[in-house]
Structure 1
Amino acid sequence: MKKIFLFLFFGMIASAFSSCVILSPKKYKALLSRQDSLNKGLSESQMLNENLEGLIARLRKDTTGLSAALGELRNRYSEIDSNYTKLRSNSSTEINKLSTDLKKREQRLREVEEILRKRDEATNQLKEKLQQALLGFTKNGLTVEIRNGKVYVSLTDKLLFPSGSIIIDEKGKQALGQLADVLKQQPEINIAVEGHTDSQKITNLGQIKDNWDLSVLRSTSVVRYLTDVSKVESVRMTATGRGEFQPLGPNATADSRSKNRRIEIVLSPKLDELYDLIKQ
């Protein structure tokens, strides 16, 4: 551009000389001033051009950076969108699975509740039957009660055995016979016979060494009578001795010790159906 201005300037001078026109000092100064103005404009234009070229370079650089950042953001968006789609799909599957499992558990819970309801109903009915059958022995220390879903028939030792003996007396045989009549009508009932004693030390009882022996032998005597004489199924029976270690009360008086010396016949409904349900 500078060359263009110089060319124009010299052209003007040449034209002036060629026309044989003699410039006056005033016109000559005006031409010089014009030249300075053109030179100044040229410098400013060049500086502006350089600034514009720098700005264009920076904009191109920024555009390249922004394009790269935009590409990276698009890739990340695609990745997030893909993960979200997978997560939503997996979540739907998991939710459906959990919903199915929850329905199955609710169904099992209802079945368990129904079995327990039937058990409680059967337990109450059994208690009523036993109370009616053994009503005549309640004055002799026989009680029937429900504890933890089981029926406990408690017979004091004076109802079953002579003092210090493991041989059942006639009154005891009568009570066990009437008890057996009810049990034989209830084949779904398991029977556990537990012997209990007071805390008094055993003395002069021959081969019976201690309260453990006495409680076990009295328990097995009852089991043998129920199975051998009254014909209750042996497979339903168990015999255990608790000794002095599960008293009903303190052994401080003769009356309380008498209550602790007892046979407890524990009757519990078979819950095979419930156990099978829990195992599933």
Structure 2
Amino acid sequence: MIKKTLLIAIGLMLLSSCVSKKIYTDLEDKYANLKKENRSLTDDVESLSADKTKLTNDLNSLQSAYDNAVKERDQLRSDYAATKSNLDNLKASYTALEKNSSEEITKNSKKNRELLAQLEAKEQALAAESARLNKLKTELENRSKRVAELESVIAAKDANMRALKDAISKALTNFEGKGLTVEQRDGKVYISMENKLLFQSGSWSVGSEGRRAVQQLGNVLAENPDIAILIEGHTDNVPYKGNAQLSGNWDLSTKRATAIVNILRENNAINPESLTAAGRGEYAPVASNDTTEGKAKNRRIEVILTPKLDEISKLLNEI
């Protein structure tokens, strides 16, 4: 456009030299108009160029915004897909959890019923055990009471036996040192009388001094009716060869025990039911038969006094 205007101007200048003033004036006016038009067109071009630049910038901005929008859309699509997948997974997990929860609730409910049944059974067993323990406690208290009574009875009988021993020792004081001993052991009183106090060798007839000792013993026993009286005859190990009526030491020991029983029976205060005679022969020695002194100790009568245990037996049966 500018080159065209310049060419026109140059042409006018060339023509001005050869054309009339009027024509020149017209041409100047046209040139002025063209120049004015040129400026206007230049302004329009500049304005359009600015508009173009602005439009280009706007287009670039819109393109950038579009690209960002596409990117955001794609990101949203990705987020949507991930969120939808998570939602589906949550729904599946919830469904599985709901199913499992129902099964667990049913299982736990059944287990709870079983536990309650076991608990009820244990409570019943505990109640029964408590009742049994209470019964045992009552029985134990009763037995403890009977044991205390038994201990009291035994203590009383021991005291009575000590008193009896003392009374017998006192009554037979005159025979001490003559083969007579009195002792208490195992709840019983043992009176041992050697044959030299009672019998002649090979005889079962009691001598006068021996009879007097047995009678004095009988006087004490008569005052103690609750005593069982066992009279045992003992010999040494020398075979008996005396009276043909006797078969041996055992027979002799029994005869001697019976002789003592008969003397005691002369005391009417002694209950015959409390008396027992037994022969032990040579089979319960208290000393060696290898010496004369030992044989003398083995030839003896033992009177064993035992408290009657009816009351104790009754208490024992009740325990």
TM-score w.r.t. structure 1 length?
Answer: 0.81
- Give the total of aligned pairs: 256
45, 51, 69: which one aligns with 2:89? 51
Q: Mean Cα displacement is larger for which, 34-43 or 58-67? A: 34-43
Aligned-partner residue type, residue 63 of structure 1: S
Asked whether the 8 Å contact 1:177–1:230 carries over to 2, the reply is no
Structure 2 equivalent of residue 267 of structure 1:
305
Is 1:154 the counterpart of 2:199? The answer is no
Distance 1:32 1:116 in 2: 115
Aligned-partner residue type, residue 257 of structure 1: K
Structure 2 equivalent of residue 124 of structure 1:
162
Structure 2 equivalent of residue 26 of structure 1:
none
**What is the CA distance between 1:209 and its match in structure 2?**
2.0
**What is the CA distance between 1:95 and its match in structure 2?**
2.7
**What is the CA distance between 1:233 and its match in structure 2?**
2.2
Asked whether the 8 Å contact 2:219–2:267 carries over to 1, the reply is no
Asked whether the 8 Å contact 2:230–2:303 carries over to 1, the reply is yes
Structure 1 equivalent of residue 284 of structure 2:
246
Question: Deviation string for 1:96-150 (max 9, x for gaps)?
Answer: 2222122111101110110011111100111111111111111211111112111
Structure 1 equivalent of residue 209 of structure 2:
171
**What is the CA distance between 1:70 and its match in structure 2?**
2.4
Is 1:102 the counterpart of 2:140? The answer is yes
Distance 1:40 1:232 in 2: 125
Percent identity of equivalent pairs: 34
Structure 2 equivalent of residue 188 of structure 1:
226
Structure 2 equivalent of residue 205 of structure 1:
243
Asked whether the 8 Å contact 1:144–1:153 carries over to 2, the reply is yes
**What is the CA distance between 1:273 and its match in structure 2?**
0.9
* 1:139 counterpart SS class: coil
Structure 1 equivalent of residue 120 of structure 2:
82
- Segments of structure 2 that go 5 or more residues without pairing to the other structure are 1-66
Q: Mean Cα displacement is larger for which, 229-238 or 111-120? A: 229-238
Q: Mean Cα displacement is larger for which, 220-229 or 104-113? A: 220-229
Aligned-partner residue type, residue 236 of structure 2: D
Distance 1:107 1:37 in 2: 96
Q: Could you say what the CA RMSD is over the residues aligned between the two structures, in angstroms?
A: 2.8
112, 124, 128: which one aligns with 2:150? 112
Structure 2 equivalent of residue 63 of structure 1:
101
TM-score w.r.t. structure 2 length?
Answer: 0.72
Q: Mean Cα displacement is larger for which, 63-72 or 43-52? A: 43-52
